[in-house]
Amino acid sequence: MTAVPVQRGLEDVVALESKICFIDGKQGRLIYEGYDIRELAERSTFEEVAYLLWYGRLPTEAQLEELTERLRQLRAVPEGVIETLHDLPTGTTPMDALRTAVSALASFEPEEGRPGATSIGGAQRLVAVLPAIISEFDRRRRGRSALPERPDLSHAANVLYLLTGREGSEMDVRAMDVALILHADHELNASTFAARVTASTLSDLYSAITSAIGALKGPLHGGANERVMELLRAIQTVDRVEPVVQEKLARHERIMGFGHRVYKVEDPRATILRTWSRRIGEEKGDLRWYDLLQKLCEVVHREKGLYPNVDLFSGSVYSLLGIPDDLFTPLFAVSRVSGWTAHVLEEYADLRLIRPTARYTGPTDLPYVPLDRRA
């Protein structure tokens, strides 16, 4: 029998069918439920995109108003989850805290009006409450009191307020809205696949999202934009980009923010965030990150033929908005939870246990040696 070839990392393996997200890696296109990401980023809000991912269509004005109000009602962190966050040891990372809080959240849902462990109500609660969970943890570790709720703010404005402690300008809020839209989904990336595998066992929504957060925590999936900012701070000036890149390449070190498993051209999300990095920099009179990134793109493409991915410019946008570096990956989760939950709900609707096979490479005929005769 001819052996089936092993696709390491499941590269190019079609594991399931989905209508949520399509990536055209050759043309550099990203599609949510039939809509190009460029148009959504230009014309929509995050709430509209979340509705689109969950329901498969853009909302009417009334539907959007209803969802927006529902998300506002679900923003508060249950007291039991706050106590759990307060009990975490000093030194707990934001992603560890988020993973723990989401797992605990399932146990602290109020019985009356409980959204349900496998329903869209649970998806809405997760999208609504994650920013407040991150804010609660971050402010406590900095010795600051929790911020008062702001039901008057949109989702993007509320995220910015909770993570920075201030209201942003109109441009700041729009930049956050665009960033949330761009990170909302990306087909079967590692965290989304982890969520779907968990959901395929008919486990609950909170368990699936906890699995996704655990996968996102890994530095090969989340956190690349944080590494980009570390590199930019080390480089400092445009004239140092070339020698620093050459040194890293000579040591065979990876330069974060470049290349992608799927895209063969520039990631369309990077193209959009490049513009926002410049716009926010101009508004704040600080183009140092943008200038460094532009030079970095030039040198890396010339030397390695690599194009930027979404992580290259996102960190500069977040930094200019005043968000601490170690909240970049939790912020990724704040956005991606909309896509995670959409995929989990899709998995529930067409359930089949995800159970791939592995090619065994070990021995098969070893004689059993009694314990007293083993060397």
**Catalytic residue numbers, as ranges:** 221, 260, 311
As a whole number of Å, the CA-based R_g of the chain is 22
Beta bridge partners of 22: 31
Strand bridging mode 35-36 / 21-24: unpaired
Alpha-helix residue ranges (DSSP H) falling in 142-169: 155-164
* 3-state DSSP assignment of residue 23: strand
Instruction: Let me know: does 311 contact 318? Beta carbons within 8 Å.
Output: no
User: Which residue, 277, 335, 324, 284, is CA-closest to 164?
Assistant: 324
- Look-up: residue for tokens 């993973």? 99
Buried b (16+ CB within 10 A) or exposed e, 1-17: eeeeeeeeeeeeeeeee
Report how far residue 321's alpha carbon sits from residue 315's, in angstroms, rounded to the nearest whole number: 10
Question: Among 166, 186, 182, which residue's Cα sits nearest to residue 331?
Answer: 182
Taking residue 270's Cβ as centre, other Cβ atoms within 10 Å add up to 25
Residues 6+ apart with CB under 8 A from 66: none
Question: What whole-number distance in Å separates Cα of residue 199 and Cα of residue 344?
Answer: 6
